[in-house]
Amino acid sequence: MSLRDRKRARTRQALIDAGAELFERQGYDGTTVADIAAAAEIGTRTFFSYFASKEELLFPDADERIRAAEEAIASRGPDDGPADVLLRALRTSARDTDLLSPIAARRIELIRTVPAVRGRALQIQLDAQRVIADRLAEAFPDRLDPVTAAALTGAFIGAVTGALQVLLAGPGTDAQAVRTALQTATDVALAPWQHHTSRNGA
């Protein structure tokens, strides 16, 4: 990696960190892009050459996750069915720190409370869903037509999202509750597609 690339990566991370801290301290709306740029010691204008919008700062790894999910689909085993593949994609792209680490908790809080952030999060999710549905249809051309693949993917992601939404709306949530909810959601969505009941470890 060249100096230029290293520098750019460092600045990018500085922006992410500065954003996280300022959002924590002053709230999302109480923090301006100018604040964040100043904290990372770059010009305000330059912020937008790193992130297309203020919201993007909260989802810096969206692309990687989608790639990870695609990778999980591509590297499926010969006996895996659509349900297995979706579960693998979920486990691969959603790390277990995603719901319980303090940083993640604050992100979820922002998704819940700031409309602009929620809107962006949902868009990212829908984009991911489309990609996964395409890959899934490609992976099982005999068993899944494109519409069915999209419906199945939508059902899977929708179930997980819905379950987490109610779960996280309540008070303090522990790791075990998250696991149970995920198991419930994946069972609901995938029941007819699973040969044998599988354990969920995400």
Partner DNA sequence: GTGCAGATATGCAATGGATGCAAGTACGCG
Partner DNA sequence: CGCGTACTTGCATCCATTGCATATCTGCAC
> What is the binding site for DNA (CB under 7 A)?
2-5, 7-8, 11, 31-34, 41-46, 48-50, 52-55
Determine, following the binding rule CB under 8 A, whether residue 147 of this chain makes contact with its own copies. yes
Q: How far is the CB of 26 from DNA (least distance, A)?
A: 10
Determine, following the binding rule CB under 8 A, whether residue 103 of this chain makes contact with its own copies. no
Residue 95 CA: distances (Å) to CA of 65, 100, 111, 161 = 10, 10, 18, 15
Determine, following the binding rule CB under 8 A, whether residue 192 of this chain makes contact with its own copies. yes
Among 167, 173, 179, 200, binds its own copies (CB under 8 A): 167
- Among DNA, its own copies, none, what does residue 78 contact (CB within 5–8 Å per kind)? none
DSSP designation for 194:
-
Nearest to 84 by CA among 157, 193, 201, 178: 193
- Among its own copies, DNA, none, what does residue 63 contact (CB within 5–8 Å per kind)? none
Determine, following the binding rule CB under 8 A, whether residue 81 of this chain makes contact with its own copies. no
Q: How far is the CB of 57 from DNA (least distance, A)?
A: 9
* Strand intervals (E) in the chain: none
Contact 55, 118 (CB under 8 A): no
CB hemisphere CA count around 143 (13 angstroms): 9
Determine, following the binding rule CB under 8 A, whether residue 155 of this chain makes contact with its own copies. yes
Determine, following the binding rule CB under 8 A, whether residue 92 of this chain makes contact with its own copies. no
- Among DNA, its own copies, none, what does residue 150 contact (CB within 5–8 Å per kind)? its own copies
- Among DNA, its own copies, none, what does residue 192 contact (CB within 5–8 Å per kind)? its own copies
* 65 vs 181: CA distance, rounded Å: 21
Contact 72, 65 (CB under 8 A): no
* 71 vs 60: CA distance, rounded Å: 19
* 33 vs 53: CA distance, rounded Å: 9
* 164 vs 170: CA distance, rounded Å: 10
Q: How far is the CB of 77 from DNA (least distance, A)?
A: 39
Determine, following the binding rule CB under 8 A, whether residue 160 of this chain makes contact with its own copies. yes
